[in-house]
């Protein structure tokens, strides 16, 4: 088997970890990233990059919802790279989407649940999935929908700082908040690459069992050596603070839209990928302990 893999967004949080793991597993990896002078919006760059590859793992995306380029990069960029891949007879295309495309739903979400994206990012990923599926006659597609990724990045660094500072929990905290640890996400992507039977499938990937948001916050407090109790405030007050309060940790990460996302139920079924032969090794508690010890988080 030709083991040359193109990873887009190879300088990003997921991309960088994926490149490292695929190399460790013996794949030949081509990196594609704006930092390397390659632009997903430039079709010529895409054509050149996919040439001679067995598979493309498309991680490149803009997460910042204030970015004017969000839909352009996430939707048009995805269309560019899959079109180039299908024209160059690449065998497989793995698209890293998000479990967020299902939006807020009651109970456990599976791959069969309705796609009801709410945020701009979720909408861009749902639209990108539609673009990808237009090519399913020409290339084998695997769509991976991860839960929120827990790992040593800026997002979680800010959350740890806020909890450490005593910032209260908004809402009851009883909503489920299932995550996936970064190592498990990378393992799941590599598993799909190594198993052709995962072609032409969609998979939600997450930890086995969801904690509630309150349990998640308490685990972070304990991991940081703090008391196992947390102050709560009602949602209306949280939204008011979000309007008025500038978080003293650099970029503001609490906005009214963030509050809506915080109080959303996030519970997923991972039965489909388990049936294919993959299961998570990490859970939120183990991941939080690892992050609390990580130099990258301080």
The span from the CA of 199 to the CA of 222, in Å, is 41
Task: Name the β-bridge partners of 204.
Answer: 145
Domain over 4-150+179-209+267-281 is classified CATH 3.40.50.720 = yes
Please list the rounded mean pLDDT of every run of 10 residues in the chain (298 residues): 88 97 96 95 98 98 94 98 98 98 95 96 97 97 98 93 91 97 98 96 98 97 95 91 61 70 94 98 97 81
Q: What is the pTM of this model?
A: 0.94
pLDDT tens-digit readout, 212-271: 999 999 999 999 999 999 999 999 998 888 777 655 444 455 677 778 888 999 999 999
Helices (H), 147-212: 154-164, 182-194
Cβ pair 85, 47 in contact under 8 A: no
**Mean model confidence pLDDT for the chain:** 93
Give the residue extent of every domain in the chain: 4-150+179-209+267-281
User: In sequence order, what E strands does 69-125 have?
Assistant: 92-96
């Amino acid at each position: 088997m030709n083991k040359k893999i193109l990873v887009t967004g190879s300088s990003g949080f997921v991309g960088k970890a994926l490149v490292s793991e695929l190399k460790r597993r013996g794949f030949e990896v081509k990196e594609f990233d704006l930092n390397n002078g390659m632009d997903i919006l430039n079709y010529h760059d895409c054509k050149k990059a996919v040439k001679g590859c067995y598979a493309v793992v498309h991680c490149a995306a803009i997460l910042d919802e204030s970015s004017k380029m969000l839909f352009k990069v996430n939707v048009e960029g995805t269309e560019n790279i899959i079109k180039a891949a299908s024209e160059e007879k690449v065998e497989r295309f793995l698209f890293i989407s998000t479990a967020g495309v299902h939006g807020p739903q009651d109970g456990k979400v599976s791959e069969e649940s309705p796609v009801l994206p709410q945020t701009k990012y979720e909408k861009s990923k749902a639209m990108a999935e539609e673009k990808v599926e237009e090519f399913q006659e020409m290339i084998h597609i695997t769509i991976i929908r991860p839960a929120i990724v827990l790992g040593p990045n800026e997002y979680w660094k800010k959350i740890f700082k806020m909890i450490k500072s005593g910032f209260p929990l908004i809402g009851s905290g009883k909503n489920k908040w299932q995550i996936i640890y970064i190592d498990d996400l990378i393992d799941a992507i590599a598993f799909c690459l190594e198993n052709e039977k995962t072609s032409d499938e969609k998979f939600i990937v997450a930890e086995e069992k969801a904690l509630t948001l309150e349990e998640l916050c308490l685990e972070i407090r304990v991991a940081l050596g703090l008391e196992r109790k947390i102050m709560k405030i009602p949602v209306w007050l949280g939204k008011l603070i979000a309007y008025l309060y500038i978080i003293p940790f650099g970029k503001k990460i609490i906005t009214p839209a963030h509050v809506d996302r915080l109080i959303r139920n996030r519970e997923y079924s991972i039965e489909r990928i388990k049936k294919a032969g993959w299961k998570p090794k990490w859970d939120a508690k183990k991941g939080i302990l690892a992050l609390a010890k990580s130099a990258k988080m301080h």
